[in-house]
Amino acid sequence: MTARPLPGMIVFMGVLAALDLAGIFVFALSGALTAVRQRLDLVGMAVLAGATALGGGILRDVAIGAVPPKAFTSVGYVVMPLAASALVFFWHPQVTRLLPAVLFFDAAGLGLFCATGTEKALAYGLSPAHAVLLGVVTAVGGGVLRDVLSGQIPSVLYDRQLYALPAALGASVVAVTQVLGAGGGAVTAGAAALAFALRLLALRYGWRTPRPRGVPG
C-alpha cells in the first residue's frame, strides 16, 4: 500500500511550485528590461527573458542528467517568460518604475533557486561541494546568459551588491544540513530565506565584495 502524502506536505510543495514560477517570472522581467535598455526587438526580448529565467535551471538539469530539463516539460516554465515579455513590451516605463519591487522578488527568486537547485543536485548523488556549485549556477546562470547575449560583462564577475555570495551561502546551508542528516523542507526554506535576506541587506546598505588590494573601488 502506497503511503499518501500528508496534507501539510502537499501545501508546502504547492507553495514552492508557486514561488518557483514567481521567481521565473521576475527573472524574465529582468531579461526583458535588459532587452529594452539594449534596444532589442520583440524576439530579442523574448530570448533574453527566457534565457534569464530558465538558463540556470537548464544548465543544472543537463549537468546532473535530469533530461529533458523541467523547462521543457512544464507549460508554466514557457508561459512565464512570454508573459513577462508581453508585459514589458507594452508597459516597460511602468515596469521600470516598479524596479524596487522587481529587485525584491528577484532576491526571493535567487534564494529559492539556490536552495532548491542544491537540493536537486544532492538528490541526484552529487557531492556536497558540487551540489553547492550547481545551486549557485541555478541561481545566477540565467543572469550570466542574459549579460553575455546582450554584450555585457556578466555582473557575477564583479559581484557588486552581493549576488553570487548570498546564493553560495544559501546553497552551503542546504548541503551541510543534508550531510548532517538534518535536511528537509524547513531547512530548504530557511536557506532560501537566508540568501534572500542577505541580498536585500546588500541592496539596502550597499555591501560589496572586496576588490584586490590597490584596485580602486
User: What is the DSSP code string of 101-127?
Assistant: HHHHHHHHHHHHHHHHHHHHHHHTT--
Residue 8 pLDDT: 59
| Lowest-confidence segment of 19-28, 31-40, 164-173, 190-199 by average pLDDT | 19-28
State the average pLDDT over residues 75-81.
93
Average pLDDT score over residue span 46-50? 95
pLDDT higher than 90, residue 138: yes
pLDDT score for 217 = 60
> Which of 10-14, 46-50, 103-107, 184-188 has the weakest average pLDDT?
10-14
Residue 216 domain-assigned? Answer: no
Domain that holds residue 62: 7-205
Q: Residue 85 — pLDDT band, cuts 50, 70, 90? A: very high
Q: Is residue 80 part of a domain?
A: yes
Q: Residue 44: CB partners within 8 Å, gap ≥ 6?
A: 35, 38
Q: What's the Cα-to-Cα distance from 122 to each of 58, 98, 113, 163, 179, rounded to whole Å?
A: 16, 36, 14, 22, 10
Band of residue 115 on the pLDDT scale cut at 50, 70, 90? very high
0.75 exceeded by pTM? yes
96 pLDDT band (50/70/90 cuts)? confident
Tell me the CB-side half-sphere exposure of residue 202, using CA atoms within 13 A.
20
Instruction: Answer positive or negative: Cα dihedral of 57, 58, 59, 62.
Output: positive
Asked if omega into 100 is within 30° of 0 (cis), the reply is no
Residue 116 lies in a domain: yes
Residue 21 domain-assigned? yes
Res 10: pLDDT: 66
Establish if 211 belongs to a structural domain: no
Most confident of 15-19, 101-105, 188-192: 188-192
Mean pLDDT of all residues in the chain? 88
Residue 217 falls within a domain, yes or no?
Answer: no
**Over residues 181-205, mean pLDDT:** 89
pLDDT bracket for residue 185 (50, 70, 90): confident
- Identify whether 214 is part of a domain: no
Distance separating alpha carbons of residues 178 and 165, to the nearest angstrom: 20
Under 8 Å between Cβ of 72 and 17: no
Total domains, the chain: 1
